[in-house]
Amino acid sequence: MKYILMMMTAFGVLISQATADEVTDAVKSYRLANEKNIITEYMTLLEMPNVPSVPSDMEKNAAHISAMMERRGIDTMLLEYPDVPPVIYGEYNTLGATKTLMFYAHYDGQPVNADLWSSSPFEPVFRTDFPYRGGQDIAYGDLEYPLDPMIRIFSRSAADDRAPIISMLIALEAMKDAGISPSMNIKFFIEGEEERGSRHVPQIIEKYKNLLQADLWLFCDAPLHQSDKKTVVFGVRGGFSMSVTVYGAARPLHSGHYGNFSPNPNVELAHLITSMRDEDANILIDGFYDQVIMPTEEELAILASQANNDEALKADLAIKRQESPGKRYEETIMMPGLNIRRIETSGETGGVIPTSATLSLRVRTVPDMDAEVIAERIMRHIEKQGYHIIDEDPDVDTLRNNEKVAKVSWSGSYKAIRTSTATPVSQALIKIMNDYTSGDMIVLPTMGGSMPLAYINDALDTNIVILPIANFDNNQHAPNENIKIGNLWDGMEIFANIFAKLGPDL
Ligand SMILES: [Zn+2]
């Protein structure tokens, strides 16, 4: 595909004709004619606080989004579960369609600390760019249509994860307007608890299992690849957290009087860390990699065929050296990781040897690692370094009778999943995106972070693919979250292309 397009460029053949597409064009012209209405509708949604700790706000959001969906002819109902924001469920059926696509998004947002924002998180502001890069505010009344696609809207959840909701709705509206019908039945699962780890999704799936069958779950969440190119993602890493506390003397000690005699827990943790992981991200714990499914040749070939963005990424991050030498970014996140989150000492200040220090770890897993097995192997490793392992605070006798003591606990495991890029559905999806972008896109075998996809994978027999639309620098979860207008527009075209074309391959 890429090759053919290059040829056409070389011979000056009409590119617009080669890449022109009925669906994309229909959405584009509909959007151009309706930009102001679309933006106005989105503003109204963005003005609604959506932090799950306020249940009445979540109910208002669910009702509001349901109404937005109903206006487009989607039949909706709320999937209720006690004390949890409801899931907005919807159906949009196509006459004669036999296959079903599930569109996943979430309507809850991360908590906000308004003091850290340049503007109020639920009073959306238009800006030409981030304020720190010289971005200027544009008053709502001064917006000129068609909008400059580089303008950003700053507001909590403008990207994560309300952007796919508005883009999907306008995509359906534009298709209807142009007489293009979806190539499948579409269902919707828009949850309100994602930012709290989708804790009740397993129970909700169990309760409503019959409704939730689909041939493909399309997870519309997360940012684009760091190159900001259109991206399709086929998996997520899993993970769990671990805490390791080691102990010094029973009381804080003057480091002049006792240094070189009484062990320092900070030093012990430093040695423990270097025994677990080297500077190149290799994990040195026995058996840690035993269950890892290594990247397939197919996946590596896909990566090799795509532009390498690593130098730009390193410049952006202001780092000269990378971990995992010789591997490109996308491959490094296909391997498990051991992240050292922090070391906290028992808090005494001054020239003191602390009484204890706690290491906070995050283990990132990949298929087919089992958190239970890995946690066990880490504990055996700690034991091999001479530690007596306990799970509660030690008494004085335990400290007197053991050279080294470590209190270890772990929690919060997410399983990793990775969908094959080689299945017919995956291939069809890649082709649609490839056609839409004229080959200028990124296929990611996995993203580095975690999402609750394993719940779906375990409970339902279906395929799972992640389709992000938000600009990579959207400040997801952070102050000054934002979406580029152009990403909303692109999202509409992407969803419409998938709705119109993927059906026969589902
Ligand atoms: Zn999200």
Q: CA–CA separation, 146 vs 174, rounded Å? A: 17
In the chain, CATH 3.40.630.10 sits at 21-236+416-505
Q: CA–CA separation, 326 vs 78, rounded Å? A: 49
Cα 488 from chain centroid (whole Å) = 17
What's the pLDDT at 3? 38
- Ligand 1 centroid distance, CA of 200 (Å): 16
| Residue 13 clears pLDDT 70, i.e. is over it | no
Q: CA–CA separation, 152 vs 486, rounded Å? A: 9
Q: If you ran DSSP here, which 8-state letter would residue 208 be given?
A: T
What b/e string do you get for 485-500 counting C-beta neighbours within 10 Å, with b at 16 or more?
Answer: bbbbbbbbbbbbbbbb
- Ligand 1 centroid distance, CA of 220 (Å): 8
In the chain, CATH 3.30.70.360 sits at 238-294+331-414
What's the pLDDT at 4? 39
Q: CA–CA separation, 235 vs 416, rounded Å? A: 7
| Residue 490 clears pLDDT 50, i.e. is over it | yes
| Residue 9 clears pLDDT 70, i.e. is over it | no
What's the pLDDT at 15? 33
Q: What three-state secondary structure class fits 122?
A: coil
Q: Which of 48-52, 92-96, 151-155, 413-417 has the lowest mean pLDDT?
A: 413-417
Q: CA–CA separation, 486 vs 224, rounded Å? A: 13
| Tokens coding 252 | 């804080």
| Residue 473 clears pLDDT 60, i.e. is over it | yes
- Ligand 1 centroid distance, CA of 362 (Å): 20
Q: CA–CA separation, 491 vs 330, rounded Å? A: 23
| Residue 457 clears pLDDT 70, i.e. is over it | yes
| Tokens coding 103 | 């569109």
pLDDT in tens, 416-426: 999 999 999 99
Q: CA–CA separation, 496 vs 26, rounded Å? A: 9
* Encoded amino acid at 475, one letter: N
pLDDT in tens, 296-325: 999 999 999 999 999 999 999 999 999 999
pLDDT band at 403 (very low <50, low <70, confident <90, very high): very high
What b/e string do you get for 118-132 counting C-beta neighbours within 10 Å, with b at 16 or more?
Answer: ebebbebbbbeeeee
- Ligand 1 centroid distance, CA of 221 (Å): 5
* Encoded amino acid at 100, one letter: T
| Residue 343 clears pLDDT 50, i.e. is over it | yes
Cβ-Cβ contacts under 8 Å for 123 (sequence gap 6 or more): 47, 155
Residue whose token pair is 């597409």:
21
Q: If you ran DSSP here, which 8-state letter would residue 367 be given?
A: T
- Ligand 1 centroid distance, CA of 222 (Å): 6
- Ligand 1 centroid distance, CA of 127 (Å): 22
Residue whose token pair is 């527009």:
489
- Ligand 1 centroid distance, CA of 338 (Å): 23
Q: CA–CA separation, 152 vs 148, rounded Å? A: 9
User: What percent of the chain is modeled with pLDDT above 90?
Assistant: 89
Q: Are 255 and 350 in contact (CB under 8 A)?
A: no
- Ligand 1 centroid distance, CA of 449 (Å): 11
pLDDT in tens, 209-257: 999 999 999 999 989 999 999 999 999 999 999 999 999 999 999 999 9
Q: Are 247 and 390 in contact (CB under 8 A)?
A: no
Answer whether CATH 3.20.20.70 is correct for domain 238-294+331-414: no
Q: CA–CA separation, 501 vs 334, rounded Å? A: 30
pLDDT band at 491 (very low <50, low <70, confident <90, very high): very high
- Ligand 1 centroid distance, CA of 380 (Å): 36
What integer best gives the mean pLDDT of the chain?
93
Which burial class, exposed, middle or buried, applies to 191 when counting CB atoms under 10 A from its CB (0-12, 13-18, 19+)? buried
pLDDT in tens, 114-130: 999 999 999 999 999 99
| Residue 96 clears pLDDT 50, i.e. is over it | yes
What's the pLDDT at 92? 98
| Residue 469 clears pLDDT 70, i.e. is over it | yes
Q: Describe the chain by its helix, strand, coil percentages, rounded to 5.
A: 40, 25, 40
Full-model pTM: 0.87
| Tokens coding 121 | 């998180």
Q: Which of 49-53, 202-206, 404-408, 455-459 has the lowest mean pLDDT?
A: 455-459
What's the pLDDT at 458? 87
Q: For residue 327, what are the β-bridge partners? A: none
Selection from 66, 34, 97 nearest residue 500 by Cα: 97
What's the pLDDT at 2? 39
- Ligand 1 centroid distance, CA of 58 (Å): 16
pLDDT in tens, 355-371: 999 999 999 999 999 99
Q: For 250-355, where are the E strands, in sequence order?
A: 253-254, 337-345, 352-353
Phi-psi category of 318—alpha, beta or left, where left has phi over 0 and alpha has psi -120 to 50? left
- Ligand 1 centroid distance, CA of 457 (Å): 18
- Ligand 1 centroid distance, CA of 447 (Å): 13
285-294 mean pLDDT: 97
Higher pLDDT among residues 104 and 453, named by residue? 104
449-464 mean pLDDT: 87
Q: Are 57 and 48 in contact (CB under 8 A)?
A: yes
What's the pLDDT at 413? 84
**What CATH number matches the domain at 21-236+416-505, 3.90.470.20, 3.50.50.60, 3.90.1150.10, 3.40.630.10?**
3.40.630.10
